[in-house]
Structure formats: structure tokens, C-alpha cells
Amino acid sequence: MNWLQEQTRRHFFRNCGVGIGKIALASLLAESGLALGEANANEASPFAPKQTHFPGKAKRVIYLFMAGAPSQLELFDYKPKLAEMEGKPIPPSVIAGQRYAFIQPDAAVLGPQFKFAKHGQCGAEISDALPNLAKVVDQIAILRSVHTDHFNHSPAQLFWNTGNGIPGRPSMGAWLSYGLGSEAHDLPSFVVLKSGGSLSGGAAMWGPGFLPSVHQGVPFRGQGDPILHVSNPAGYDQRAQRESLDLIRDLNKQQFDSVGDPEIRTRIAAYEMAFRMQSRAPELMDFSQETKETMDLYGANPSDGGQAFANNCLLARRLAERGVRFVQVYHAGWDHHSNVAGGVRSQAKQTDQACAALVEDLRRRGMLDDTLIIWGGEFGRTPMVEASAALGRSKGRDHHPQAFTMWFAGGGMKPGFSLGKTDDLGFHVVENQVHVHDVQATILHCLGIDHTRLTFRHRGLNFKLTGVEEHHPVKELLS
């Protein structure tokens, strides 16, 4: 789909590469009686594919954002020492100067709540909460040494998605749409899907910030129209819609002839693309095109709201196939301040199969090489137990920004690889410390972008996703 940016929209009809194919454009132009005079001019729409800084292995990203922050200690970062120390406080030397959301830093330690085992040829150690991921472990790269600046959900989620803890900066998807353009036809370049509980960061997580607003993420809705207002109103069939658009176009055209504002031509084009989106959306959402084997692989079932995450993973693949640059799949429900064992078990049950299926499905289709899958939450969880009489909490874990785990697959990441190490308590990173901005730089790198050069001038400063301090792509992770 092709949103048109103010400065370039007058040149829309010179561009045939984006949004609508040449044939469609030609017919559209013929229909609207506009000349196809300058169709090969080189000025581009905001979604024209852009040249990258260097060849990138990934063409698109599916980011499985585990909102609420999954416990790395229950899933990826096995710390037997915690079991030994269970019930005892963390040594003061470790906790000095730390701030926590709910607990006091001297709270007692809680042992791992799951068994761990080594899997695959790579021998990566993960817990038995993730039996399906264990089967594709040779396809993924596990990073156990991530840390962040924020220990509250909203700022930490914003930090991952926009590079800043306060709303207002462009989101990663918007940066990519701006920096790379779109390969999607009649679909947004940046799509947001969501399942599970509540998201903390709000719409700012897919906002355009100060980038042109055309780059903002389009949330697909879990109820009603997947894209707002993509269905005709009650009583209007396809022909009525088409004939209405014809009238609108004809009158707009008459107005253009009389006042000459190129903006009108842009609006004509926008309406035509809206119409095409309307016909495109049902096809996109129609899972009956998928085989039963594929549906079973994901555990997808469009009529079952309980399978929302699995459905979203499958939809993410379908969006990726249609050229959508950045699919953000949020699943909220990992904030286990109490009963971390039960919480992780239940969330893993909802997500493990579909995550593994996405990796496997993309691999089979040959899309894993150029699709980067990212899995991770906004921070980690404390080695210390959270218990509070007032809140009715026990055997939970609080927010832990100092060390946590993510994994990646495809798109130029090393398969069957693990990086990073935390101390015996899982409290601090001791090897290969990676900051959020480093991960963001890595993601951009996979797409062929030098994060220091993807900038936008706003109010006198050149802003970038990765902030002002020095950060680097994690080269060790790259294949």
C-alpha cells in the first residue's frame, strides 16, 4: 500500500513502482482520464524501496514481543545456585544501588521453577516449559545477556519499540518503513497484531513520532474489521461502493481541472488504493487457503479466541509473504509477580507451539533466510522472590532490568547459537553485555542499515532509533 507523503504526493502519478502495479495504474489513469506522461520520473513516494547502506540478509521482521516480561530464569537462563540459596537474601554487594518496582532488594532468592535440559545439536539449555521451541533450537540464536534502562512496563516497552522511555519518538517499524520503503502491495508496511492481556506502552509503540505520519503502524483489530473500516457500510455491496468511488473520482477530477491542486490527484489515488485494500483484506484474513497441516503446526484456529497468538503468528507469516516490512506481534500476559511457575506454564502453553511453528514454517517455505524473527520481553525477572501480604502475592518475581534473555531466528542470525552469560544468581550479565540499543542496532544491521546513519532531522537535531550514546550491532550473533 502506498501512503503519500506531502512533499512527494504531487508526483504520485509519476511513480508506478509502488503500491499499484503498472497495469493497474495504467487502467486507473485511463479511467480517471489522467495522462501517464511522466510515469518513469525518478522521484519516489515515501514507500519506494530504498537502497540499503550495505546488503542486508533480512528483508522483513516479525517481532514476537512478549509483553509483561517473561522470566528468563524459568525459560532460558538456568541457575541451580538459586535453588541452593532459596529463602536466603541476595548478598548486599550484588544488590547495592538497585531500585525495584515492588520488592525490597534484600528479598530472598527463589529457585528455578522448571527443569532444564540441553536440546538439539547445539545443546542449548532451555526449560521444559518450551517443548516446541526445543525442537527448533538449532534454528535460533539465544542471547542471555540483554539489559535495559527501565524497570517499569510502559517505559520499558516504549524503550524497545521507540528507543526512548517516554512516548513521542518514532517506533522501530516506522523507522524501517521510512528507511527501507515498502514491498507490500495494498497493505501497510508496518502492521501491529496483539493477543493476551493489556499492553502498557499504548499506541505510541507503533506511532510515527516525528517521522511523516504515513509510516505509523496499522493495528489489526481483534474484533470487527481487521483494519478499521475496511468493510463496506451496512447495505453497500461491491458495486455500490465502486459506483460511489466513481462518482467521487469524477467530481474530484472536475475539481482538479478547475483548481489544479496536485493534492486532489493524490486523494483520487488514495481512494483507489483504499478500494483495493478493501478487496485485499478478506483474502489476507482467509485462512481456508492454509492446509490442515499448517493450521495444526501453529495450533491456529480463527474461530477460537483462545488461539489468538497462534492465529497472529500465522497471519504474520501471511503478511510477511505479502511484503509487509515489519510485523509486530504483541502477546501480553507475562507479568508474573505471583506464582511465576503457574504463570509461565500457562503463557508458554499459549505461545510455545506457534513460535516454533513460525520458525519451522518460514524455514520450509524458504523465507527464514530473509525474515528476521525476534522473541523477547521488555525486561527480565528478579532472582529474588516477590511476596506481599497486601497484594496477595507469593512465589512471584519482580521486574529485573539488569539481565534477561531473547532469541532470534533467520534474517542473518546464527542458527543454533547461544551468546552471553549471567552470574550464578542470574542477577548481572558477566559476559557479552548487550544493551537494548545494541539489539536495535543489530536488527537494523540485519536489514542492511547502519543504525548511525538512519537519522531524521527534527527540531535541529539528527535523531536516530538508537539514541545518542555509542552502540553497536552484536556482530557475534550474525551468521
Partner 1 sequence: MNFLRASLALILLIGWSQLVPRSTHAESPVDFNRDIRPIFAGKCFACHGPDESKREADLRLDLRDEAIDAGAIVPGSLDDSSLIERILSDDPEERMPPPHTNDSLTKEQKELFQRWIKTGAPYAKHWAFVRPEKPELPEVSDSKWAASPIDRFILARLDEAGLQPSPEADRYTLVRRVYLDLIGLPPTPEEADAFVNDQDPQAYEKLVDRLLASPQYGERWARDWLDLARYSDTNGYEKDRPRSIWPYRDWVIKAINDDMPFDQFTIEQIAGDMLPEATQSQKIATGFHRNSMLNEEGGIDPLEYRFYAMVDRTATTGTVWLGLTIGCAQCHSHKYDPITHTDYYSFMALLNNADEPDLFVKTPEVTQRREELLAKIHEMEAKLPEQFPPVDGEGDIEQRRQQNFQAKRSEWLDKSRQEAAQWKTLRATSLTSNMPKLETLEDGSILSSGDITKRDLFTLKFSIDPLQLPLTALRLEVMPDERLPASGPGRAYYEGRQGDFFLSELKANFNGQPVKLGDASHSYGKISIGSGNANASNVLDGDGSTGWSTANQEGQSNQLVVNLDQPITTAGELTTGLLFERHFAASLGRFRISGASADQKLAAKQLPVSIEDLLAKDPQKLTPEETGQIEHYYLTIAPELAEARQPIDELRKQVPSYPTSMVMTQRPADNPRPTFRHHRGEYLSPKELVTGRIPKFLQEDEKTAGPTDRLELAQWLVSRENPLTARVVANRAWQAIFGRGLVESSGDFGTQSDPPSHPKLLDYLACSLMDNGWSMKKLHREIVLSETYRQNSNTSDEQQAADPQNRLLARGPRFRVDAEIVRDTMLKASGKLSGKMFGPGVYPPQPESVTALAYGNFRWNPATGEDRYRRSIYTFSKRTAPFAAYTVFDAPSGEVCTAKRDRSNTPLQALTLLNDAMYIELAQALAESAQKEASSNEAVAENIFRRLLTRPPTEAELKAILAYQAAQLARLNSGELDAAKITGNKNSTAESAAWVMAARALMNLDEAVTKS
Residues 166-205 touching partner 1, rule: CB under 8 A, are 166-168, 178-179, 181, 194, 198-204
- Residue 459 · residue 70 · CB < 8 Å: no
Binding-site member from 55, 87, 92, 233 for partner 1 (CB under 8 A): 233
CB of 367 to partner 1, least distance (A): 25
Q: Which stretch binds partner 1 (CB under 8 A): 23-31, 206-214, 295-303, 377-385?
A: 206-214
- Residue 348 · residue 294 · CB < 8 Å: no
Q: Which stretch binds partner 1 (CB under 8 A): 85-93, 308-316, 407-415, 448-456?
A: 448-456
CA-based radius of gyration for the chain: 24
- Strand blocks (E) in 161-240: 190-196, 218-219
Strand partners for 388: 393
Nearer to partner 1 by C-beta: 119 or 249?
249
Under rule CB under 8 A, which residues in 145-164 are in contact with partner 1? 151-155
Nearer to partner 1 by C-beta: 20 or 137?
20
Q: Alpha-carbon distance 465 to 340, whole Å?
A: 33
- Type of residue at 447: L
Secondary structure element (H or E) that encloses residue 15, with its range: none
- Residue 429 · residue 420 · CB < 8 Å: yes
The torsion angles phi and psi of 288, rounded to 5 degrees, stand at: -70, -15
The set of cell numbers assigned to 167 is 512516548
Nearer to partner 1 by C-beta: 225 or 431?
225
- Residue 123 · residue 305 · CB < 8 Å: no
Binding mask 383-402 for partner 1 (x = CB under 8 A): ----xxxxxxx----xx---
Q: Alpha-carbon distance 127 to 134, whole Å?
A: 9
The set of cell numbers assigned to 173 is 517499524
Instruction: Please report whether residue 115 would count as binding partner 1 according to CB under 8 A.
Output: no
Nearer to partner 1 by C-beta: 359 or 447?
447
Secondary structure element (H or E) that encloses residue 63, with its range: strand 60-67
Binding mask 266-285 for partner 1 (x = CB under 8 A): xxx-xx-xx--xx-------
Q: Alpha-carbon distance 206 to 216, whole Å?
A: 6
Nearer to partner 1 by C-beta: 83 or 461?
461
Binding-site member from 84, 296, 468, 479 for partner 1 (CB under 8 A): 468
- Residue 409 · residue 359 · CB < 8 Å: yes
Nearer to partner 1 by C-beta: 380 or 415?
380
Binding-site member from 17, 89, 241, 363 for partner 1 (CB under 8 A): 241
Instruction: Please report whether residue 445 would count as binding partner 1 according to CB under 8 A.
Output: no
Instruction: Please report whether residue 230 would count as binding partner 1 according to CB under 8 A.
Output: yes
The set of cell numbers assigned to 412 is 542473518
Instruction: Please report whether residue 4 would count as binding partner 1 according to CB under 8 A.
Output: yes
- The Cα angle at residue 420 between residues 331 and 345, in degrees rounded to 5: 35
- Residue 326 · residue 63 · CB < 8 Å: yes
Instruction: Please report whether residue 227 would count as binding partner 1 according to CB under 8 A.
Output: yes
CB of 417 to partner 1, least distance (A): 29
Nearer to partner 1 by C-beta: 79 or 451?
451
Nearer to partner 1 by C-beta: 178 or 408?
178
The set of cell numbers assigned to 78 is 538456568
- Closest listed residue to residue 143, CA positions, set 336, 401, 405, 476: 405
Q: Alpha-carbon distance 368 to 363, whole Å?
A: 5
Binding-site member from 170, 173, 196, 212 for partner 1 (CB under 8 A): 212
Nearer to partner 1 by C-beta: 50 or 81?
50
Nearer to partner 1 by C-beta: 79 or 215?
215
- Closest listed residue to residue 162, CA positions, set 154, 152, 172: 172
Buried b / exposed e over 67-93, threshold 16 CB at 10 Å, is: bbbbbbbbbbbbbebbeebeeeebeee
Binding-site member from 124, 218, 354, 403 for partner 1 (CB under 8 A): 218
Instruction: Please report whether residue 66 would count as binding partner 1 according to CB under 8 A.
Output: no
Secondary structure element (H or E) that encloses residue 445, with its range: helix 436-446
Q: Which stretch binds partner 1 (CB under 8 A): 126-134, 211-219, 361-369, 416-424?
A: 211-219
Under rule CB under 8 A, which residues in 324-383 are in contact with partner 1? none
Q: Which stretch binds partner 1 (CB under 8 A): 2-10, 115-123, 366-374, 426-434?
A: 2-10
Nearer to partner 1 by C-beta: 121 or 258?
258
Size of the site for partner 1 (CB under 8 A): 114
Report in angstroms the alpha-carbon separations of 346 from 72, 307, 375.
15, 13, 17
Question: What is the CB neighbour count within 10 angstroms for residue 221?
Answer: 14
Nearer to partner 1 by C-beta: 83 or 468?
468
- Residue 331 · residue 195 · CB < 8 Å: yes
Q: Which stretch binds partner 1 (CB under 8 A): 119-127, 313-321, 374-382, 453-461?
A: 453-461
Under rule CB under 8 A, which residues in 69-108 are in contact with partner 1? 99-102, 104
Binding-site member from 248, 285, 341, 419 for partner 1 (CB under 8 A): 248
Binding-site member from 88, 349, 365, 453 for partner 1 (CB under 8 A): 453
Binding-site member from 247, 282, 283, 430 for partner 1 (CB under 8 A): 247
